[in-house]
Amino acid sequence: MKKVLVTGATGFIGGRIVERCLEQGLEVRAFHLPGDPGAPALEKKGIQTVAGDICDPEAVAQATHGVDVIFHCAAVVSDWAPKSLFENVTVGGTKNVCRAAVEAGVSRLVYLSTNDVFGLDESGVIAEDHPRQPWGEPYPDHKIRAEDAVWEAHREQGLPTTMAYPCWVYGPGDKTFVPHLADAIANREMVFWRRDVLVWPTYVDNLVDILFLMAEDDRAVGRGYLVHDGESTTLQEFCGAIAREIEAKPPSLHIPFGLAMAAARVMELAWKVLGIKNRPLLTTYVVKNLGSRLRFSIEKAERELGWKPAVSYREGFARTMEWLGTQDLSIIKGK
């Protein structure tokens, strides 16, 4: 790799990719929205930043000019946003990146997908050849459509692309997964609606390791890889461990799955009718996501690329909790 472009560079994963580029002495360019509060921190590190909208083809083309490798992380990562935003950013933005990548003649486009694209089929172990299945939810369904655009550019225009399907990404700097669970636990809002729900943690550095491998190994071109730490835990165990770290009471309340889904639908309808912009306490996506026992294999990445997670789940969780302890927990605990 000579010069790297990272879209979504101020996000959790994109930011860690930028840091890895600096650690390896690579020239890196960070693409972000105008006025992004995270941009000044990147500039202080001497990183070239380019302000622009992923929905603007010209801005994307300018950001892409002269780069060798693109890590495309920008997307709407939410369960509560207008469908037009998913359409324009997640799908349209990805199409813009693909077009610009072809024009720039990049050596690799590394696209960050999600394990969500494989649906909610619990009948067997899911590998990369599993059919992609919509959820009827905007985030996973638009990620499927964005993936279609990437593979189309690969097939029809020869774009050298590769794709990662990470499971639940966590680690120091996490802005969604662990902090949101910690907040719910601390404020006694965490409720379970199915026992023994499986969680497949993916420590952020393990993910970045394979992303960089995929960017350089020609065997990865035209291929996609599931990524996690190599083991699962249950949601109950994961939340219990967080509770111990923040000195909160471990959550134990269980309600029926059907009741949780009904409550989520009522909340979503009420929020839409009332025009409330903040996400509801419960959404149908969260009920589905935190109510599944899916199983995922990372054997393909080991077989084809020789990749194994370097950081164990135990070590990754310990590092994450150490970081969480440095945060302002008074905000999380609602004090």
Domain spans in the chain, listed from the N-terminal domain onward: 3-170+203-229
Q: How far, in Å, CA of 28 to CA of 114, rounded?
A: 24
Q: How far, in Å, CA of 47 to CA of 314, rounded?
A: 33
Place of tokens 């302890």: 325
CB atoms within 10 A of CB 275: 6
From the number of C-beta atoms within 10 Å of its C-beta (0-12, 13-18, 19+), residue 52 rates as middle
Regions in the chain scoring below 50 on pLDDT: 331, 333-335
- pLDDT 10s digits, 15-43: 999 999 999 999 999 999 999 999 999 99
- Helix, coil or strand: residue 37: coil
Q: How far, in Å, CA of 36 to CA of 93, rounded?
A: 17
> Residue 335: what pLDDT?
39
> Residue 277: what pLDDT?
87
Q: How far, in Å, CA of 40 to CA of 51, rounded?
A: 11
- pLDDT 10s digits, 208-265: 999 999 999 999 999 999 999 999 999 999 999 999 999 999 999 999 999 999 999 9
In words, the CATH class of domain 3-170+203-229 is: alpha beta
> Residue 53: what pLDDT?
96
> Residue 334: what pLDDT?
44
Q: Is the pTM of this model over 0.85?
A: yes
